[in-house]
Structure 1
Amino acid sequence: MRLTLSRTALLLASALSVVALPGLAETATSPVATIVLPAITVTAVTTRKLEDHVLASGLISPVEQVSVVPLIEGQPIETLAADVGDKVAAGQVLATLSTATLTLSQSQLQASLAAARASAAEARRTADRTAALLAQGSTSNAANDQAQSALTAAEAQVTSVQAQLDNVALQISRTQVVAPVAGTITARSAQIGSIASAAGAPLFVIMRDGALELRADVAEADLPKVVAGQKARITLASGLPPQTGTLRLV
């Protein structure tokens, strides 16, 4: 019995050894797991300025536009000396109006003035003679008063005609339409032959000094971040190179 038990135990032990050996072999051949650590970037600590960008969109328009209108009414446009896109200086002639009717009126008034002056001179001689006769007692006070009144009326006529002549001369000088300011012409409605009128569309529109500005809408939350004098970078929708500017007004 003991032998049998011993052999049985020995066989069991051998079997266990055989069974255990494959497990040991498998453990020995398994690869070791590799741990991959995350990459770390190291940067030196420095002090720098942080910029907060505020985005806004809007439309570009002239800072100031000046309308050019004729200073006299009812005269046809005779010549044009400027067009859209031209850069002009203050006082430069942009167009001229016809002076034909004004020159005719001027000639007529000059003739009227000469006649009025002649009448005034005759009235003065008559007044002087009447005054001398009155001093001699050869005429009445009524006649003298009448002569003086005629002289006053004749001199008033001279003054009136002279004023009309001066007015025509002023109108002739205003037939030249000039630029009131320097800048770039952005619009022109003037056409040769059309009647100039201040009541209609301006003959020209000038962008003063050629200055442009961007009027943009800024979000309410960004308003505390913007102040006059700040620099701005403007990106154009047309694809042209970006422009820089200065914030003028908030």
Structure 2
Amino acid sequence: MESHEYRSREAQPDLIWLNKARFAGVQELTVTERGTLEVLGKELHPADPKQAPAPGSLVKVWYAAGNFRAATMKAWAQASAIHRERERTEHVSRETAHRRLREEAEAFNSALPVPVRWVPGLKDANHGAPSSLAGVGTTRRPVVHVLLQQDLDAGRLYRESGDLLCDPSHSRWTAARMGTPEALTVDAEGHKYHAKVTCKTCLEMVARLARKGDDLTEAHAPAPVAGGLRP
């Protein structure tokens, strides 16, 4: 945005006035007949009078980087429009990223050949809040496991309802203390959905179960999110 610098000609600026002017935010002022701006009772002069807005012009004035700046209403409107468009584009980009994450998670989880009812789950109940699994823009996410909702008896492999497929001893200890939470996250519209299973051990065990397919019952997709929040 094109803007113009204005300065006080006082040798020693009034610090109390300066602080008030700084925190006054953006002001809408009219350039005086002398080509100056009057900010909270003090006159500011343009650093470059030839390029400054003409007397009588309505301008937006603010304090930044040690100086006062002024922009014409036209320049301000153009910059505001560019800013709104940038925000809209970023919003669409975030929505697209969230939608892609949700679609990938639901498709991946639905394809896992787990032979009993299950949901994605977490070992640590402290990670149960949806915001902890938001996914977009985060650098560290908790590991998501297969949390069984029915007993699983597959020959040498036995798990009870409420166990994590990879680590039943840990899940029973956790559940006895605070409950093993489902791995829930939220999409761009605030709807909850199950996060994608990421535990390597769980996925390896699911693959082994799939190879035993003849001895197992029909595979199940993860149970829907409780409370009807899943559209």
TM range (shorter): under 0.3
Provide TM-score, normalisation by structure 2.
0.22
Structure (1 or 2) with the greater helix fraction: 1
Higher RCO (CA-CA < 8 Å; seq separation 6+): 1
Larger radius of gyration: 1
Provide TM-score, normalisation by structure 1.
0.21
